[in-house]
Structure 1
Amino acid sequence: MDASTETFEARLTATAREIEAVLETLLSPSALKGEIARPERLRSAMHYASLNGGKRLRPFLVIEAASLLGGDRDAALRVGAALECVHCYSLVHDDLPAMDDDDLRRGKPTVHIAYDEATAILAGDSLLTYAFDIIASPETVLPDKAKVTLTLALARAAGIGGMAGGQALDLAAERQAPDEQGIVTLQAMKTGALIRFACEAGAIIAGASSEDCVRLRQFGERIGLAFQLADDILDLTSDAATMGKATGKDAGRGKGTLVAMHGMAWAEAKLAEQVLAAEALVAPYSERGTILAETARFIAGRKS
């Protein structure tokens, strides 16, 4: 590991700790103004789901994209925490027996195993709802227009036309394998949409120009595809101990992936292509774009 990689990973880890501190505060037992009470078992399941490890890559992207364009860090931390709530809700629901039926997540029992299915469903529901609470809250110091824009963008990234729709396509792929365009669409929705939002959100927080918003959105699309390609490669080459979850499940269920369709050499070349394209998108920012470029390389080279 060279010094730059070590510095990047130290920054990623430090930011993850900041996000976790925000989540700890947000998920405290104390009811907020307008809430009646926080049932302890449900709150505990939400805490378990969202503070059970992970790189916090999506909030990291929010914070670094905002920083690139001069956005407020505290606001970016809260929006990043909101996005992490959406991401963690999706993992809780995806792991359910009716979905992917997984017993292991980040090396630990999934929420429906550690608690029960009903609590897992409610924990996911509550995390999703809380995300929009966090953005709208007065404690998130942003102009109302920015909050509305973020809310709309996150809803569309997370809902029927984004992540949830992508999960529906993923379940359908178990019955009938999609063609190449179907795989690309599924992955752009299920995995790519929240990563794209993370990058665009940083620009929105900073009140950036439409040109910057488009550039960061395109950067997010590139690294979203890179993330999924890397994930599919790891699903074939890694093991459960390294990944912290079951591997080889897509092949076992007959789901098509771009790696399975075109082979490992093609996938690795395509992955490198996405990284180069992502680097080119942030190159105009010179030194300020270095961290995002390093993030693209990290995504491609990750081992878990």
Structure 2
Amino acid sequence: MTTPNDTGNTLQQFILNGIPGLEHAHIWISFPFFSMYLIGMVGNCGLLYIIWTEEALHRPMYYFLSMLSMTDIVMGTSTMPKAFCIFWLDVKEIGFKSCLVQMYFVHTFTGMESGVLMLMALDRFLAICYPLRYATILTNPIIVKVAMVTFLRGAVLILPFPFLVRKLRYCGTNIIAHTFCDHMSVVKLSCSSIHLDAIYGLAVALLIGGFDVFCITVSYFMILKAVVGLSSKEARSKAFGTCTAHICAITVSYKPAFFTFFAHRFGRHNVAPHVHIIMANLYLLLPPMMNPIVYGVKTKEIHESVLRLFHGGKVIVTHSH
């Protein structure tokens, strides 16, 4: 507990309480969480290895997929080890500065995840709508630049979060009803005015999530328009088939993200706390687990590369946009 004179500069630590109301079931909840985390880490590391070693996959679509895998690895690893310490060892303390660092990494890389999904939508748009110019538009230097911009956008916009949180006064409880240091979960403990934090958090969500969703929507509208205009049913099916894995990735990522965002700001009295916390954890576990599986099943080139890796045979990888 803190004293009434505590401020963000003198508070030593927070207590992460895990999943409120389900503390007795932490050990059972940890099993599916750990399974999802392990599958996600193995799957994404495997995907990175395949893309790195398979020269036929050294193309824009797979470079963006590599970015998604690296983002998923960091996103899950920034929160889950501490969550398992809570579930298994009942170690709930986290230092104030460590909490701020975790907060920064979580929000930076969830923002980057959204940005990479947006870039992948633009990649599909160029591949389907401008196939002859695809290779000349998405050159390696351009891919490096857009990747850096996507990372810097999240890193810079999220940077004020820890500084704003640090300036707040904490004169009540230091117990966070969460498994990790989420921005809004921390600022709600303050006895200072949190209007600036809430407004800035909403602005960042709109600048990142809102902008990305808009770009993804426009991209798929143009893709749909182009696909409908194709002459044969087979061509339409093949063109839209290249988007299937990406659409699944968008669904898996954005559904729990929107639930978490709106529950924090508008559904505090309508959503049970344990439901909100479980969904927030699924937001960090589901995409890393599902993305390698979806792309491994739905993408022919990756599927063939996996078969070659495990069977040791020569599998011909066909090129397609």
Q: What TM-score does the superposition give when structure 1 sets the normalisation length?
A: 0.30
Q: Which structure has more RCO (C-alpha within 8 Å, separation ≥ 6)?
A: 2
Q: What TM-score does the superposition give when structure 2 sets the normalisation length?
A: 0.29
